[in-house]
Structure 1
């Protein structure tokens, strides 16, 4: 089985390279003919390309977010459709779902904001692929080597970590090792369609914060007002303050079993 990756240098891409060992790397600068050449003999393509979402969304940066996801996926799909690839696995985000609503894959409502529309268009582009296609919608990914947790640990270690706002917003998360296992499961079972790559146990920001403080043995007494995040990140602060209560029903119905299903088990595993 030969696998090609886009976005290979990112947090998830690095973890997948470690798991699958030898991967063909598709660079964001590759045009469609170059990608076609690279895909010769490739069985599975995993698409992870996309500029970081946690950054102030100026108009130019919004264009970069769109280009790095939509246009790169368009080129990739054109190449896949000219190749002998047998399975395409693309990425999306649970930001496609509306806030303050329990959702699994059966939820068809799209969030009425930039991230919702971006995710929706990203998926539409991926679904133009003529080969068997899977879309994984990522939650907050927890791993000590990168992602959200790596950014959180330092202030918490300094004792200045705290809940965001009133702490009631829901966080839907996934341990990086379970995420890698999901990829292997999807490949082994030849699954197609949309799957939420999240733990079956989303938590409030308050529970997440207190659990992280407990695992690090640090206080969590300094709340972070939402307006501070809006000053720092502008519209992008919605990624941090939004409330996403998302469940992986489709994966569980297919028989996937999470190794790190609860937040304390995951954090203990990643940090200690």
Structure 2
């Protein structure tokens, strides 16, 4: 396949590019600077500029664009940036597809588990209603923008959970603390985090390229885990204690709205469509995921 990827330089994009290329696919990366390699194509999503010729005849477009959710405090300006960094690229891609004579067959445009908001212990499948909050609103508008692609393009909006990796991502700050024996649960630890390892995210997107699923697809591991279980399993894999719990009021004091939406919210998400379609996880259990993430596999 000839695949055009936006957001290829991030944690997920870098791994996914390598995964797709190892499978024999051609991956061309959209960049916002002058191209420095043969596999780079220039665009300016903030200005809505993308040469439709870049997408002409492509088999698929994968959109991973978006500023980091937990990188900075949620000021009004940062929240606006979180919206724009997702909506501008998605709308630009959809508009460019509409100007091609032979549009891509599939458009996989990232979304997130935060679409569902804070839902406690409720089981969340793809047909569950949207939640409330800033991230839920971002995800709803993000998905709607993806569906602006022209008729005939199969649109998939993966609602990805917390991505576990060996460096960076959700564990980028937690793992070093756990290795020192200084980590612990966040809040009461009973909030569910839909998790998935980085290799399984890349494999799931590759699977979605060939599988006739469309619309929202929950991308997470089949095993449900709350934060207590997640942290204790990671600490056990490192042979370290995990007793330094951070109370919710402290998180809210330090992080504001970000704490409730990113750390204390609960989404018990189930990957119903992926499982029904026959996707096979490399790390379906938390035990396997923790061993891999800590390098003890």
TM category (shorter chain) comes to over 0.9
Match of 1:157 in 2: 179
1:105-254 aligned within 5 A = 105-108=126-129, 110-130=130-150, 131-238=153-260, 239-254=262-277
Contact 1:26 1:35 (8 Å CA) reproduced: no
Match of 1:57 in 2: 74
Q: Distance in 2 between matches of 1:202 and 1:151?
A: 22
Tell me the C-alpha RMSD between the 2 structures: 1.5
Calculate the TM-score normalised by the size of structure 2: 0.87
Q: Distance in 2 between matches of 1:49 and 1:252?
A: 26
Q: CA deviation at 1:34?
A: 3.0
How many equivalent residue pairs?
Answer: 271
1:23 correspondence with 2:27: yes
Q: Distance in 1 between matches of 2:268 and 2:177?
A: 25
Assess, with a 3 A threshold, how the Cα gap between structure 1 residues 64 and 33 changes in structure 2: closer, same or farther.
Answer: closer
Match of 1:265 in 2: 288
**Structure with greater helix percent:** 1
Q: Distance in 1 between matches of 2:61 and 2:31?
A: 13
Match of 2:107 in 1: 88
Q: Distance in 2 between matches of 1:37 and 1:151?
A: 41
Q: CA deviation at 1:38?
A: 2.1
1:69 correspondence with 2:99: no
Q: Distance in 1 between matches of 2:113 and 2:293?
A: 22
Q: CA deviation at 1:32?
A: 4.6
Q: Distance in 1 between matches of 2:62 and 2:242?
A: 38
Contact 1:35 1:76 (8 Å CA) reproduced: no
Assess, with a 3 A threshold, how the Cα gap between structure 1 residues 38 and 157 changes in structure 2: closer, same or farther.
Answer: same
More divergent stretch after superposition (132-141 vs 220-229): 220-229
Calculate the TM-score normalised by the size of structure 1: 0.95
Q: Distance in 2 between matches of 1:240 and 1:57?
A: 14
Structure 2, unpaired ranges of 5+:
33-43
Assess, with a 3 A threshold, how the Cα gap between structure 1 residues 253 and 15 changes in structure 2: closer, same or farther.
Answer: same
Q: Distance in 2 between matches of 1:163 and 1:61?
A: 27
Match of 2:38 in 1: none
SS in 1 for 2:83: helix
Match of 2:125 in 1: 104
